[in-house]
Amino acid sequence: MINYQSRCWICGSSEIALLRKGLDPAKLSPSNFSITDFSYGLTLDLYECKSCDFKFCPTAGNVVSFYQALVDEDYERTRAARALQAKKLLQCAEHFLPANNSGKLNLLDIGAGSGILVEQAISLGYEAVGVEPSQWLAVKAQEHQLPVVCSSFPCADISGKFDVITLVDVLEHVTNPVELLSDFAGYLKPEGVGIIVTPDINSLMAKIIGKSWWHFRIAHVGYFSRKTLIIALKKAGLEPIIWIRPAWYFPLDYILVRLDKYLPFIGLKQLAKFASRYFDKFSLPLNLRDSWMVMVRMQNIGK
């Protein structure tokens, strides 16, 4: 018996079916929601909408409190690599950004973490601000003297309209994705551009890895395909401009430790210790083509 949000979060259909049983929501803790958690293959009860094929976890309940209490030391340790990733995302989008004759473009990063993307945006000439529910991550951002507000989005401390809004690896974490995208659209200037990144459950890699796919995680409660993301965007008043398969950057030891989940017989943990000691400044680009980066704008703009 489903006792929470028994309709599809995207299309509203009540025709949903259980794909597989998962962890009891009563046993969750903030550690399950850490950004660097690698309990791959472990989810809450996973359901599929028979109308639009969206996969989601309707028993998740209100997960905001877990994010508010989140602490993730390993995330901050990988700051330099993640900064490369953030910069590349912004550079990919530069050809689609609006012209602004009055000065700098302004940018809002939703789910800003410790301000890594905000920091890169400022370095590229933006006036940037972020919003982040984790008190620990927001404090880390402030230690770096970055303008990150500790709050859920939307919030009273963030007002006005923005030329660019980023929502990077956030949409899969929320139980109200269409509402979040609608709020996102409400903060976007008429000629503004949004950048959204989320895993693609219909990707080839997701199909090859199956139930052990690394994006199957407790913290991920909604799993999008291109089809379901288009439906959600349309409902929120947004339309895609371009679809890109983004690359990520990680330290070598970080990658090796996570590969050990799939190849435990090779001894990659020992190799990771070696890499951590001698190649701690070395980051690798990784593009498994199992996420979407979609740039969006308001519907009917320029038509």
Question: Domains of the chain (ranges plus CATH)?
Answer: 16-247+287-298 (3.40.50.150), 251-286 (no CATH)
Task: Specify the pTM.
Answer: 0.92
User: Phi and psi for 124 in degrees, rounded to 5?
Assistant: -90, 5
Residue pLDDT, tens place only, 37-50: 988 999 999 999 99
pLDDT at 220 over 80: yes
Rounded percentage of the chain residues whose pLDDT exceeds 90: 77
CA-based nearest residue to 90, from 187, 165, 192, 172: 165
> Among 5-9, 19-23, 164-168, 275-279, which is the least confidently predicted range?
275-279
The confidence score (pLDDT) of residue 101 equals 59
Mean pLDDT of 250-273: 72
Residue pair 287/247 in contact (Cβ under 8 Å)? The answer is yes
The confidence score (pLDDT) of residue 176 equals 96
The confidence score (pLDDT) of residue 279 equals 60
Distance CA 86, CA 196 (A): 12
Residue pLDDT, tens place only, 135-149: 999 999 999 999 999
pLDDT at 235 over 80: yes
Question: In the predicted model, what is the mean pLDDT of the chain?
Answer: 90
The confidence score (pLDDT) of residue 278 equals 57
DSSP structure string for 69-116? T---HHHHHTHHHHHHHHHHHHHHHGGGSPP-TTS--EEEEES-TTTH
Residue pLDDT, tens place only, 58-75: 999 889 999 999 999 989
CA-based nearest residue to 297, from 218, 192, 216: 192
Mean pLDDT of 177-188: 98
